[in-house]
Amino acid sequence: MATTIRDVAKEAGVSAATVSRVLNNSGYAHEDTRKAVLDAIQKLNYRPNEVARSLYKQKSKLIGLILPDITNPFFPALARGVEDYLREHGYRLIIGNSDEQLEQEIDYLDTFAQHNVVGIVASINEPHSDMLSDLNVPIVLLDRTVEELPAVYADQFEGGRLAAEKMLERGSKEITIIRGPIEVRPVYQRFVSSFQVLRQAGVKVHVFDSKLSFEGASKSASSLFEFYPNTDGILACNDIVAVAMMNEAQRTGRKVPEDVQIIGFDDISISELVYPGLSTIRQPAYEMGEKAAEILLKKINQQVLDDLHCQLPVQFIERQSTRKVGE
């Protein structure tokens, strides 16, 4: 059996209440008793039971995190940002993968409530507002947005625009945009933005669909050049898809970037390691996670938020899958 606050109290020759006071630095405590208590705690290696604490205070030190799929490298980066920040502030994470499934999101939200989480960070598309207000717990959206909730995300329109412009500047004339699932908002936004720029520029543009997953990317890649053999520029919806497309380009004897240029989205770690290095639009995933955590803690501590929405800048990272030009 773990040591309880009573054990400590007995050891120190005081009451449980006193122990609680020194533990929480609340109320008075004579320096001597304080020391006695601290000694007893040390001696018994006592750690307060968070569950009991949580039951009484109706709030835990737990924070819920919902991500679509931790298996997609973009999300672990977010998660680490969240975790590292929260951890330093004494909070821990209950984590759940939703696979973008409403049902699973709800299921986790439910669980979070049952465990008295004090806050939630979530990458979900349509927050179930009744549910959320029901929980009555601060939430911040990550990589997703909705008008009324705090959110941290990267500038998708700028990202989409940047990708298209850089591609244009580097001379591609027949560009295929790989569009991800339109239900995933940020992915759709970057598509729209790229598409607009390309259209206005008057180049030839194709739209080709792909899932965001590894298998999906691989599958769609295999038929890209059957549909659009003259593609000389690819704007991919994320880096995974970009890498798959780059593979297919090379496999079909095309040179990258000479014959086909490719720009990805996200800047996941692997993008730097593949050959040729993948040019991409960087989303500052780790920082996004940190920022979301920071905002969440502010809300938890009732501090006022300067802005509900925090948009982080994206950045064009040029590597070797595009033809560098003097700028």
Partner DNA sequence: ATGAAAGCGCTAACAT
Partner DNA sequence: ATGTTAGCGCTTTCAT
Which chain residues interact with DNA by CB under 7 A? Answer: 1-2, 4-6, 13-21, 23-24, 26-30, 32-34, 48-49, 52-53, 55-58
Nearest Cα residue to 309 out of 147, 186, 74, 159: 147
24 binds, among a copy of itself, DNA, none (CB under 5 to 8 A by kind): DNA
- Closer residue to a copy of itself (CB): 196 or 247: 247
| Helix (H) or strand (E) segment spanning residue 263 | strand 261-266
Among 114, 253, 326, 327, binds a copy of itself (CB under 8 A): 114
Choose the contact partner of 77 out of DNA, a copy of itself, none; CB within 5 to 8 A by kind: a copy of itself
Residue 70 interacts, among DNA, a copy of itself, none and using kind-specific CB cut-offs from 5 to 8 Å, with: a copy of itself
What is the dihedral angle through the alpha carbons of 81, 84, 86, 92, rounded to the nearest 10 degrees?
A: 110
Task: Compute the chain's Rg from CA coordinates.
Answer: 25
Residue whose token pair is 């919902």: 66
Contact 78, 288 (CB under 8 A): yes
Q: Which of 11, 83, 232, 294 contacts a copy of itself by CB under 8 A?
A: 83
Name residues whose C-beta falls within 8 Å of residue 172's C-beta, 6 or more positions apart in sequence: 203, 232, 233, 261
Burial-class residue 113 by CB neighbours within 10 Å (0-12, 13-18, 19+): middle
Q: Is 275 in the site for a copy of itself (CB under 8 A)?
A: yes
Contacts of 302 (CB under 8 A, 6+ apart): none
CA dist., res. 199 & res. 195, Å (int)? 6
**Residue in the structure block whose two tokens are 């890209």:** 224
Site string for a copy of itself, 206-225 (x = CB under 8 A): --------x--xx-------
| Identified binder of a copy of itself from the candidate list 33, 48, 181, 192, rule CB under 8 A | 48
CB of 87 to DNA, least distance (A): 20
Taking alpha carbons only, the member of 309, 273, 296 closest to residue 81 is 296
- The rounded distance, in Å, linking the Cα atoms of 107 and 41 is 39
Q: Of the ranges 7-15, 91-99, 157-165, 295-303, which one interacts with a copy of itself (CB under 8 A)?
A: 91-99
By a kind-dependent CB cut-off of 5 to 8 A, residue 16 interacts, out of DNA, a copy of itself, none, with: DNA
Going residue by residue from 172 to 191, which x/- string records binding to a copy of itself, judged by CB under 8 A?
--------------------
User: Is 79:289 a contact under the CB 8 Å cutoff?
Assistant: yes
Site map (CB under 8 A) of a copy of itself, residues 138-177, x = contact: ----------------------------------------
Task: Give the footprint of a copy of itself on this chain (CB under 8 A).
Answer: 2, 47-52, 54-55, 60, 62, 69-71, 73, 76-77, 79-80, 83-84, 87, 92-97, 110-111, 113-116, 214, 217-218, 240, 243-244, 246-247, 250-251, 269-270, 272-277
